[in-house]
């Protein structure tokens, strides 16, 4: 599609597991962490696309794959029709000015030995963009855009002199100073105080609109995803369980895992009727994921042996709403969604 900026097809990332000396002696089988396993989605121009799920579901790995911070095992990553998964580094570098990332931890992602000016101007210098005077102007302008004013008061400070919220604003400024077309935001507010999360989210939304950028927003909080995103994909153990328009996913979720995530969101009004969906236990190991549907070991409506033996496909149920569940439309499912 002409308006598709990022298109991911059958994306796979398996990390090899290093075994101990004794384990190596007794087995020759190579083990892998199946962090991302056959993921497909697309992101349109100017769209904020959410990737939601528990810790360990493969969200961050997917985001890093999209901008080639790590190499994919297989699959294609098309950025404006160009396959990033096969590009050599010499051809990838010019494209990096169009693709940026905002990291989760504002305390670890900024070099403590660099001033704020050096941190924000570094992408411009690496890409060879502008003279020194133009660099100063762009740094000053982006500091104003992220509401760190007056800019000259922050330019020559070091990261340790700033609060957590101010540091994350610097991270946002560093990502947007190149005026990118695609940005990955990896849980950018999860380490910030609740009181300033909304400010940072509104700031990023405004910058996406200003620069007409496409945005991959990674989160474990569906309440934030509902506030930010146009569409959402729900990941579990390396696979997409459900994807579609935000209102469809939040108000009419099909997959039991999506319903469980939504049920976990706190509601201020104690009289509000809550879903009774509860999932128990921890997410299984990605080294040895369950057979069939990967969620069947925790699913409250799983049918055996169907869910244990056969892997569901991500099927389209209309209006761009996809779900990977054998039971959608069956009697048990109708009873379940009434909870």
Q: What is the pLDDT of residues 78-116, one digit of tens each?
A: 999 899 988 888 889 889 899 999 999 988 999 999 999
Confidence of residue 204 (pLDDT cuts 50, 70, 90): very high
In the chain, pLDDT over 90 holds for what percent of residues? 67
CATH code, domain carrying 193 = 3.40.50.300
Let me know if residue 110 belongs to a domain.
Answer: no
SS (H, E, C) 105-157: CCCCCCCCCCCHHHHHHHHHHHHCCCCHHHHHHHHHHHHHHCCCCCHHHCCCC
Give the count of domains, the chain.
Answer: 1
The residue count for the chain: 339
Higher confidence at residue 309 or residue 335? 309
Confidence of residue 2 (pLDDT cuts 50, 70, 90): low
Let me know if residue 26 belongs to a domain.
Answer: yes
Compute the distance between CA of residue 292 and CA of residue 311 in angstroms, rounded to an integer.
4
List 12's β-bridge partners, or say none. Answer: 37, 74
Compute the distance between CA of residue 21 and CA of residue 278 in angstroms, rounded to an integer.
41
Report the pLDDT averaged over residues 205-223.
91
Which run of H or of E encompasses 219? strand 214-219
Q: Which residues constitute the domain of residue 226?
A: 4-98+178-253
């Amino acid at each position: 599609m002409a308006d598709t900026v990022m298109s991911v097809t059958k994306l796979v990332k398996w990390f090899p597991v290093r075994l101990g000396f004794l384990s190596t002696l007794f087995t020759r089988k190579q083990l892998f962490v199946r962090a991302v396993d056959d993921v497909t989605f697309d992101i349109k121009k100017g769209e904020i696309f959410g990737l939601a799920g528990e810790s360990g579901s493969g969200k961050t790995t997917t985001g890093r794959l999209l901008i080639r911070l790590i190499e994919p095992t297989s699959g294609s990553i098309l950025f404006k029709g160009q396959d990033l998964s096969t590009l050599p580094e010499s051809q990838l570098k010019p494209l990096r000015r169009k693709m940026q990332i905002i990291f989760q931890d504002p305390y670890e992602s900024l070099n403590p030995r660099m001033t704020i000016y050096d941190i924000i101007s570094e992408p411009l210098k690496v890409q060879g963009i502008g003279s020194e005077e133009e660099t100063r102007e762009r740094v000053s302008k982006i500091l104003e855009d992220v509401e760190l004013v007056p800019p000259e008061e922050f330019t020559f400070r070091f990261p340790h002199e700033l609060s957590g919220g101010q540091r994350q604003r610097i991270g946002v400024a560093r990502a947007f100073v190149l005026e990118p077309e695609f940005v990955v935001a990896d849980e950018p507010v999860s380490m910030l105080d609740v009181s300033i999360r909304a400010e940072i989210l509104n700031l990023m939304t405004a910058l996406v609109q200003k620069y007409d950028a496409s945005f991959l927003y990674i989160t474990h909080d569906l309440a934030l995803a509902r506030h930010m995103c146009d569409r959402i994909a729900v990941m579990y153990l390396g696979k997409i369980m459900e994807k579609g328009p935000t209102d469809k996913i939040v108000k009419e979720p099909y997959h039991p895992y999506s319903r469980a995530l939504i049920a976990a969101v706190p509601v201020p009004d104690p009289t509000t009727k809550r879903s009774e969906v509860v999932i128990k236990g921890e997410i299984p190991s990605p080294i040895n994921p369950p057979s069939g549907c990967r969620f069947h070991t925790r699913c409250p409506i799983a049918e055996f042996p169907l869910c244990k033996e056969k892997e569901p496909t991500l099927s389209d149920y209309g209006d761009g709403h996809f779900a990977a569940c054998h039971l959608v439309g069956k009697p048990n499912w109708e009873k379940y969604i009434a909870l």
